[in-house]
Amino acid sequence: MSYQLKPWHEIPIGSIVPEAGSSKLNHTGSWRMLRPVLNYDKCTHCLICWIFCPDDSIPVSPQERFETDFEYCKGCGICAVECPYDALEMVPEMEIKLKELEEEIG
């Protein structure tokens, strides 16, 4: 039995993205399990992590890397793997949240 693929103009329309930039509405940081914690003493601001981050969650200037944007960082860990200076450590989000809670309670 042979199977004939449909030409593109006969394929029904699936999902469409009507507006550019709509991914900003998707706060991917909400499902993060691991957080990249930056060691500022080790960071040389080479910006390699910024090149590799698939979510554009690392704000930078031409000279400096700033703190990760945790609204959008989903904790994939690519930045930590690619950092040549071992300046990023992936820490369980729950561990950080518990520590913050303990500090808040006192």
Per the listing, tokens 């518990």 go with 98
CA 6 – CA 1 distance, rounded (Å): 16
Instruction: Mark 24-63 with x for binding to ligand SF4 (rule: CB under 6 A) and - for no binding.
Output: ------------x-x----xxxxxxx---x-x-xx-----
78 in contact with ligand SF4 (CB under 6 A): yes
At 51, which amino acid appears? I
| Tally of residues, the chain | 106
Residues that bind ligand SF4 (CB under 6 A): 36, 38, 43-49, 53, 55, 57-58, 65, 68, 73-79, 83, 85, 87-88
